[in-house]
Every structure is written in structure tokens, then in C-alpha cells.
Amino acid sequence: EVQLVESGGGLAQPGGSLRLSCTASGFNFKVYSMNWVRQAPGKGLEWISYMTSDTRTIYYADSVKGRFTISRDNDRNSLYLQMNSLRAEDTAIYYCARSVEWSFDRWGRGTLVTVSS
């Protein structure tokens, strides 16, 4: 069974940092592109970052460019999101999602990030 499990969320201060992790199982993680998608409380979905299986191609949404960094460790079946210079508007559930032709065919249950003083 395909599983994606996010971790690392929590409370951070404005200007602070957090590192999210997503651990994959049940499929060959090494061959899939992966994404981070977030959802602010009571709001819609916002894609924020994409990385190919070989790490050569990366995209970011403008809202996080220069502050967030996506990475992966294929040996550990893991995807990461380093979030720096956090703002209140970054408060959201962060989902890890597997890519199929830039659609998202499998999602984790998400991890909540709250940015507040």
C-alpha cells in the first residue's frame, strides 16, 4: 500500500524555521517526482514546490521562493521541506504528494504548521 507520512510540523515564531519530512513506503520512491502542497485553515489548495526523481529539476511557487527549499534522499525514501523566514501566512497543513504528469495521485495526511508569536 502506498503511504506518505509527513512530520516536523508545529509552532514556529515569525522569522523562524522548520524542517518538514515526508517518508514514503509501498512504492518505488526513487522514480517518482514529488511535491509539497499546502492548505491554510478553511482555505483552498496551494502547490508550493516540485522536485524530479533525480533532483535535477525544481520549481517553487512565488510565495515561497527564496525562503523554502525542497530536497530528497532516495536512499531513505524521504522528501524534505526546509522553511525559513516563516510568516503568519505560511500557517497551513502541509501535504506531501506524489506526481504523475504534474497531477497528484497520492497524498499524505499532512502536518500542521502554525506561525505565531
Binding stretches for another protein (CB under 8 A): 35, 44-47, 50, 59, 61-62, 95, 100-110
Between 29 and 95, CB nearer to another protein? 95
Closest distance between another protein and the C-beta of residue 9, in Å?
Answer: 14
For residue 41, count other CB atoms closer than 10 A to its CB: 9
Between 5 and 77, CB nearer to another protein? 5
Torsion (CA) 102, 96, 51, 60 in degrees, nearest 10: 90
Specify whether the CB–CB gap between 72 and 30 falls below 8 A: no
- Supply 19's cell numbers: 524542517
Of the candidates 111, 82, 115, the residue with the CA atom closest to the CA atom of residue 12: 115
DSSP 66: T
Between 38 and 72, CB nearer to another protein? 38
Specify whether the CB–CB gap between 77 and 85 falls below 8 A: no
Between 16 and 39, CB nearer to another protein? 39
